[in-house]
Structure 1
Amino acid sequence: MMELFKFNEFQPFTEIIRNSRPIIRKALDKHFDETIHDEKRKIDEIRFFLGIFKFVTKKWNVEILYELEIHKGLIFNDISRHLERISSRTLSDCLKQLQELGLITRTVQDTRPPTVLYELSKKGKGFVELSLILIYYLADIPVKK
């Protein structure tokens, strides 16, 4: 497992995973027992799941959310500095999409000149927290570099 997850503060993740998996399994079993999965239903569910995965794997989204988590909020230029290879246009588009999804907030500061602070919303913090549990769960899977 990656060195990062050997820190004691991540050990509670093991218990969270152990306790949540039976609850999730029960909900899934109930769903599949009670819902007819004809071809249309399967396609709809797969499209929904793939849409979520595309968001998660879209270049820069995770990096932006992680930077906002680490720094408890940043202005545009600071995000750009932390993500050296991102263009201003791409960063602007990503921030707009993350805001539309409710994962970040955008607050215009009363400064001269005006600055805009980007922070994780409650939903964005939840995304980061739950993502870490999934990453922790998958951390012992070998990853090609």
Structure 2
Amino acid sequence: MPTKKITKNTERCALQEILGVIGGKWSMSIIYALSHRTMRFSEIERMIPGINTRMLVKELKNMENNGIVTREVFATVPPTVEYTLTAKGKKLNPIIDELYKWGEEYVDKSMS
């Protein structure tokens, strides 16, 4: 009986690409935090319980590289840095709102 060779699909699916952009553990929380206004780094950090400074820096850099947020530095002492959602980032708001509603309905609160 001849064996059939299994070939690996080298193309990544669109969902994997999307998760590469917004799939970080903290990405959706950051987008949610920025959904209503521009915020300074420390404001974002305070708004997201459990995130550490290093991880917030990493996630914001990734999101900036993917065109989700813009970073603006002001020449003050100490330097002030503000983050804003781009038009591309703002398009994620309704999706994240729906995920939040889904979580409220279906995620067991005792799991956390």
Tell me which interval the TM-score lies in, with the shorter structure as reference length.
Answer: 0.7 to 0.9
**What residue in structure 2 maps to residue 144 of structure 1?**
107
**What residue in structure 1 maps to residue 4 of structure 2?**
none
Residue correspondences, number: 100
Runs of 5+ in structure 2 lacking a partner?
Answer: 1-6
Q: Is the CA contact 2:21–2:63 (under 8 Å) kept in the aligned structure 1?
A: no
**What residue in structure 1 maps to residue 91 of structure 2?**
126
Identity %: 29
Is 1:68 aligned to 2:12, yes or no?
no
Tell me the distance in 2 between the aligned counterparts of 1:128 and 1:87: 23
Q: Kindly state the Cα deviation for residue 97 of structure 1 after the two structures are TM-superposed.
A: 0.2
Runs of 5+ in structure 1 lacking a partner?
Answer: 1-38
Q: Kindly state the Cα deviation for residue 109 of structure 1 after the two structures are TM-superposed.
A: 1.8
Q: Which amino acid aligns with 2:82?
A: L
Q: Kindly state the Cα deviation for residue 132 of structure 1 after the two structures are TM-superposed.
A: 4.9
Q: Which amino acid aligns with 2:107?
A: K
Of 11, 23, 33, the residue aligned with 1:44 is 11
Between structures 1 and 2, the one with greater helix share: 1
Tell me the distance in 2 between the aligned counterparts of 1:55 and 1:123: 12
Q: Which amino acid aligns with 2:38?
A: G
Q: Which amino acid aligns with 2:59?
A: C
**Structure 1 length normalisation: TM-score?**
0.58
Of 75, 85, 88, the residue aligned with 2:50 is 85
**Structure 2 length normalisation: TM-score?**
0.73
Q: Is the CA contact 2:32–2:96 (under 8 Å) kept in the aligned structure 1?
A: no
